[in-house]
Amino acid sequence: MMTLLLEIRTRLLTFSSKMYEKLQISEELGGMVFNFRPKFKDFMSQAHQHPELELNFVTSGEAVYYFSDVKYTMRPGSMVWILPNQNHRLSQWSDDFSMDIVAFTPNSLLSIDINSPEYEALIQNPSDKGVYCRVINHSVSQTISQIFKSLYTGNLHNDGVENQAPVYARKVFGRSENEIYKHTKPRVLNAGLAFLLTYCWDAFQSHGSDSDSKRIHAAVCKSIQFIQDNEACSHTVSSLAKACGLSESRFSRVFKENIGMSVPAYKNRVKLDHFLKLWQSNDMTLTEACYAANFGSYAQFHKVFKEQFKVSPKEYCYPSESTADTNE
C-alpha cells in the first residue's frame, strides 16, 4: 500500500486548486457516505475535484458523467471510481436519478489492503479515459445498495441531530453552507468503509460489464477549458469557434451534441456555479455576488437563476425568510 500512498501524495501536490472542492469530514472518520438525490435538474455545470478517492453507485434513473474527454451514460447498477484530484462533472440527470456516494480520505486508504494488481494499477496509472466505469449485475447491486444504506444511516448534523443522507448531499453539492460530516458510530463507519471498498472493488472486477462511453470532441474539450479559465466568461460563440478551428455553425452543433446544451446555456451554468460559490464563501449580498459572477445585470441574473432553479435567488438562498428581498 506504500505505492498507493506515494501516488496519492503526488496527486495532492499537483492538483489545480481552481476547481477544488473541500469535503468537510470529521478527523475521526475515514470518509463519508451518503445518498445523492438532486433537488434541481441538471445543475452541476463545472468540473470539480477533491483529494479523496470517490466511488459512485447509481440506484435509479439516468445521468451523464463527464471526465476530461470522455462521457459515460449512467444507469442503475453503474459503478464509477474517481481518483484523487480528478476532474469530474455530473449532468443531464433524470427526475428519478439517485446514487450512493462514498469518499475515502487518503489516510484511510493506508489501512485497507485490497491486494489486487488491478486496484494498484487503477490508482497508479489511470487509463487514458481517466475513469473506471462498469455496470454491476442485479443481484450483486442489491447487496451493494444494502451495504450503503447500513452505513449512511447515522450521519449527523453539527448539532448532533441524526441527519438523513439526502439532506447532507445537498450541502456537499453547494445547496447551502457546508457542514462537517459526522456519524453516530465512527468505529462502525470506518470498519464499514474498509469492507465497502473491498467488496465493491471485487464486484467491479468480477461482476461488472463496461458502461456506455463516448469520446468528447477535441474542440468541445478545448472550448470548455477556455470558458472555465476565463472567469469573465467573455468568450463569444464566434471567438470560441475560431479558436477551435471550426465554423460557428458546426461548433455550435458539435458542442450541443457533446454537452447536451448550447454554449450560452453552458456559460450561464458556469456563472451560476460561480455565484453560489461566491455567495456561500464570502460575506456578499445577492447583488454583489451576482455582479462578481459576471452577470451583466441583476435582472439577467434573476431570469437565468429562476429558469434553472424554478425559484427566485431570494427563495433559494434564504428559504426561511418570508419577506421579499429588496432586489427582487
CA distances from 296 to 16, 44, 125, 231, 299 (A): 28, 22, 44, 13, 8
Provide the pLDDT for residue 82.
86
Cell digits for 238? 464566434
pTM: 0.69
CA distances from 214 to 63, 70, 188, 220 (A): 14, 6, 39, 13
For the residues 84-107, what does the mean pLDDT come to? 85
Cell digits for 295? 452577470
* pLDDT at 83 exceeding the cut of 90: no
The pLDDT tens digits for 141-179 are: 999 999 998 887 766 544 444 444 443 444 444 444 456
Provide the pLDDT for residue 155.
61
Q: Which of 84-98, 185-199, 311-325 has the lowest mean pLDDT?
A: 311-325
For the residues 99-123, what does the mean pLDDT come to? 74
The pLDDT tens digits for 122-131 are: 556 554 444 5
Instruction: Return the DSSP state at 245.
Output: T
Instruction: Return the DSSP state at 325.
Output: P
* pLDDT at 231 exceeding the cut of 50: yes
Cell digits for 69? 474527454
Highest mean pLDDT: which range of 60-69, 112-121, 296-305 = 296-305
Cell digits for 103? 469518499
Cell numbers 451495504 correspond to 147
Cα–Cα dist 176/41, whole Å: 17
For the residues 260-284, what does the mean pLDDT come to? 82
Cα–Cα dist 229/207, whole Å: 40
